[in-house]
Amino acid sequence: MRIEELPTPALVVDLDALDANIARMGAAWPGTKLRPHAKAFKSTALAQRLAGAGHTAFCAATVRELAGLAAAGLGTDLLLANECVDRGRLKALVDHVPDARVTVAVDSPETIEAAAAAGVREVLVDVDVGMPRCGCRPDDAGRLADLARSAGLGVRGVMGYEGHLMTEDVDQAGKVEEAMAVLLDAHDAVGGDVVSGGGTGTWKKNHWVTELQAGSFTLMDTHYEAAGVGFAKALSLLLTVVSVNGTGGWAAADGGLKALGMDHGNSTIDGATVWYHADEHTVFSMDDGAALPRVGDRVGVWPAHVDPTVSQHEQLWVHQAGEVVDCWPIDLRGW
């Protein structure tokens, strides 16, 4: 089957581009030096492809993502790179996948207590390295590590996400070094052998972590492309043109706000200008006097932000040069 025959809206993945992205990242961060972030792609089938390339340690943002990875046999070394105080959910995870190695990020007495009560065995101390979100004060990391150990938890090391620097264009290298200096100081106080951090935007600039947390590099989006991170866009949204207004000079295709993450603005179409997205439409005009498409034509849309695009779909249609070769369920959606 050709991708043109798929019902739309359809999220399609260019397998060769994906594999090239994985190979490129793997050359710099081989094996478990890369900890792929499942939140970006939410598919155990895509995770299996990463594991096949040697990247067998994963991180995720939700307990459900971790549980799904473990159930798919990918539980060698799973990190919840996020805080959680839902003991019931954590306990269900640990109880259901007793053979999996599960590590959880903690940044407060409450998150330590929740992990210990749930039967989690290992943690990383999450440190605020400059982005206002989660992470303890750097000078509090040692105290929290002691607290965790006294609660019976193994402390594997630290984690710190320099998310505010992912698309920084003024002295990114210097700012990443400063942020990681904070993390390494905290690591001195915490101990353990793991320093986890980074992302697709800093894969070439972060020389201090022992493992890189990155997921977007696999499928990519226009936001990271504009930042010049050096991976190819492997994900697009295939739509069908359902209405054409020759007088007004626009066309409307059959997918929009419910199929695309919108926090990075509109998605793009090669050779066209997107006017706006509505719930189930993308309205666009053609550039440089090119002819409008016809009703029934297909059009490919490049998402602006991969993570909240993927999470709105049920499957990824995998193709090579337009020929559909697989269908991967987006089986890690929801909470």
Residue number with CB closer to its own copies (24 or 64): 64
Residue 137 touching its own copies (CB under 8 A): yes
| Single residue of 23, 95, 150, 243 touching its own copies by CB under 8 A | 243
Residue 277 touching its own copies (CB under 8 A): yes
Written as one letter, the residue type at 248 is G
In angstroms, rounded to a whole number, what is the distance separating the alpha carbons of residues 113 and 203? 33
Residue 281 touching its own copies (CB under 8 A): yes
Residue 83 touching its own copies (CB under 8 A): yes
Residue 55: both structure tokens together: 């990247």
DSSP characters over 70-114: HHTT--SEEEE-S----HHHHHHHHHH-TTS-EEEEE-SHHHHHH
User: Between 9 and 38, how does the x/- string for binding to its own copies read (CB under 8 A)?
Assistant: x-----------------------------
Query: Quick one: 28 exposed, middle or buried, by C-beta within 10 A (0-12, 13-18, 19+)?
Result: exposed
Q: How far apart are the first and last CA of the chain?
A: 33
Residue number with CB closer to its own copies (56 or 127): 127
Contact segment (CB under 8 A) with its own copies among 134-142, 148-156, 177-185, 186-194 equals 134-142
Residue 248 touching its own copies (CB under 8 A): yes
Residue number with CB closer to its own copies (56 or 135): 135
Residue number with CB closer to its own copies (137 or 207): 137
In angstroms, rounded to a whole number, what is the distance separating the alpha carbons of residues 326 and 312? 19
> Shortest gap between Cβ of 143 and its own copies (angstroms)?
14
Instruction: Name residues contacting its own copies, limited to 316-335 (CB under 8 A).
Output: 334-335
Residue number with CB closer to its own copies (56 or 84): 84
DSSP characters over 183-217: HHHHHHHH-SSEEEE--GGGTTT--S-SEEEE-HH
CB atoms within 10 A of CB 110: 11
| Single residue of 21, 62, 103, 213 touching its own copies by CB under 8 A | 62
Return the closest-CA partner of residue 121 out of 141, 88, 99. 99
Element of type H or E holding 312: none
> Shortest gap between Cβ of 22 and its own copies (angstroms)?
21
List of residues 6+ apart from 70 with CB closer than 8 A: 78, 93, 96, 97, 100, 102
Residue number with CB closer to its own copies (77 or 128): 128
Strand partners, 272: 286
Angle subtended at Cα 332 by Cα 328 and Cα 335, rounded to the nearest 5 degrees: 155
In this structure, is the dihedral angle defined by the CA atoms of residues 19, 21, 22 and 26, taken in order, positive or negative? positive
Residue number with CB closer to its own copies (134 or 234): 134
Contact segment (CB under 8 A) with its own copies among 185-193, 195-203, 221-229, 255-263 equals 255-263
Residue number with CB closer to its own copies (150 or 245): 245
Binding site for its own copies (CB under 8 A): 7-9, 39, 61-62, 82-86, 88-89, 107-108, 110-111, 128, 132-135, 137, 163, 240, 242-245, 247-248, 250, 252, 254-255, 257-258, 261-263, 275, 277-281, 283, 294-296, 305, 307-308, 311-314, 334-335
